[in-house]
Amino acid sequence: MKLTKQNLSERIDHVYDVIVVGGGAGGLSAGVYLQRYLLSSLIIDKGKARSFWIQELHNYLGLPPDSPGRSLLRQGKEQYLSVGGDMLDGFVEDIEDEGETFAVKVKIGRQGSLYQTFRTKYLIAASGIIDYLPNLDTMRNVYDYAGYNLHVCLICDGYEMVDKTVGVLANSASNAEVAFPLGWFTPHITVFTQGLFEVGELRQKLQEHDYQLIETPIKQFLGEDHQMNGVELEDGRTIPLEAGLISMGSKYHADYLEKFNLEKQGENLVTDKMARTSHPRIFAIGDLKVGLNQVVVAAADGALAATQIWRDLRRIPGAKHQAKLS
């Protein structure tokens, strides 16, 4: 059921088997599997799934190569609701571990906000990340090309840049290192620092690979019909390009988990092979966990997490009967 401010009262006293935070590919996959295991689930989605911004899913097996990410999400939500799952548009502000259950505090609505607490036995964190983009005076100029031929994922889109003249936009020397694996796909690489960091030893390494280095900040991207064909620098120069790769890090949407002190590797949560974190009732899937940031991987993670939770609950006497009644 699609939950709204008007029908929330129907779920106030319900204890879910699982609450999934995030309605991207991973969260929706988990939700579908949970419902098919006869468990009760709620997906809380803030509406900012990374895959929403993917203009064409070229590497998702079985989908037409021009399928936009938002179509995948729309169909996934319809599938989830069709098997009896609950879905709520909202923002998870806080989670308290009450022992056998978690209390999940949710902000609903940006204006005239309503705050509601839901309870669940298990939690799946599927809230993902969002990529940092170049900070230009006119951000609309960035959004015109991001997700088209201005890419954010080498693994996803390296094939799209084969033998093209590519600009790598980085905000640190470590992020600029992506230029070297990009060299597998094309030798025509220019690294733009935007004047954000000291190049240091990276300068010599770029020279050894015959890659160009530009430290002058970018004023704007050039192009038309969402196809970027170069950049204009703040000093007036224009640099022709056929594609771009942004490597500026990501914001991890997992502040609600900080109090649990879960094991991490860098910013990513460490999980076992079934996506369980260092807390036995918290699972992490998709971009939040250590692994590949791929839509197809997130969907697989969702299936794994849901399956392990089902296995856990099966060991509780009477759990199957209770799930059918919920």
Share of the chain above pLDDT 70, in %: 96
* Per-residue tokens: 23: 């309605």
User: What mean pLDDT is predicted for residues 64-79?
Assistant: 88
Whether residue 320 is predicted with pLDDT greater than 70 in this model: the reply is no
Residues 10 and 124 in one domain: yes
Q: What's the pLDDT at 233? A: 97
Task: Write out the chain in H/E/C secondary structure.
Answer: CEECCCCHHHHCCCEEEEEEECCCHHHHHHHHHHHHCCCCEEEEECCCCHHHHCCCCCCCCCCCCCCCHHHHHHHHHHHHHHCCCEEEECEEEEEEECCCCEEEEEEECCCCCEEEEEEEEEEEECCCEEECCCCCCCHHHHHCCECCCEECCHHHHHHHHCCCCEEEEECCHHHHCCHHHHCCCCCCEEEECCCCCCCCCHHHHHHHCCCEEECCCEEEEEEECCEEEEEEECCCCEEECCEEEEECCEEECCHHHHHHCCCEECCEECCCCCCECCCCCEEECHHHECCCCCHHHHHHHHHHHHHHHHHHHHCCCCHHHHHHHC
Query: Per residue in 132-170, pLDDT tens?
Result: 999 999 999 999 999 899 999 999 999 999 999 999 999
Q: Which of residues 213, 247, 281 is at a domain's end?
A: 247
Q: What is the pLDDT of residues 268-287, one digit of tens each?
A: 999 999 999 999 999 999 99
Count up the domains in the chain and report the number.
Answer: 2
Does residue 111 register a pLDDT over 60?
yes
Residue 185, pLDDT score: 98
Q: Do 174 and 143 belong to one domain?
A: yes
Q: Are residues 43 and 183 both part of a single domain?
A: no
Q: Are residues 106 and 20 in the same domain?
A: yes
Residue 318: what pLDDT?
A: 66
| Same domain for 220 and 114 | no
Q: Is 205's pLDDT higher than 90?
A: yes
Do residue 20 and residue 79 come from a single domain?
Answer: yes
Whether residue 220 is found in the same domain as residue 299: no
Residue 245 has pLDDT above 50, yes or no: yes
Whether residue 34 is predicted with pLDDT greater than 50 in this model: the reply is yes
Average per-residue pLDDT in the chain? 93
| pLDDT reading at 265 higher than 60 | yes
Q: What are phi and psi of 56, to 5 degrees?
A: -145, 120
Quote the domain boundaries for residue 275: 2-130+250-325
Question: What is the maximal distance between C-alpha atoms in the chain?
Answer: 72
Q: Which residue has the higher pLDDT, 81 or 113?
A: 81
More confident residue, 107 or 325: 107
Q: Do residues 198 and 286 share a domain?
A: no
The residues near 171 (Cβ < 8 Å, ≥ 6 apart) are: 132, 194, 196, 197, 247, 248, 249
Q: Any idea what the CATH number is for the domain that residue 47 is in? A: 3.50.50.60
- Is there a single domain that holds both residue 145 and residue 120? no
Give the residue from 26, 19, 15 showing the smallest Cα distance to 41.
19
pTM: 0.91
Indicate if 214 and 115 belong to the same structural domain.
Answer: no
| Token pair in block for residue 2 | 């699609």
Q: Are both 34 and 116 inside the same structural domain?
A: yes
How far is residue 292's CA from residue 289's CA, in Å, rounded to a whole number? 9
CB 210 within 8 A of CB 193: no
5-9, 50-54, 191-195, 320-324: least confidently modelled range: 320-324
- How would residue 55 be classed by pLDDT, with cut points 50, 70 and 90? confident
Is a pLDDT exceeding 80 seen at residue 321?
A: no
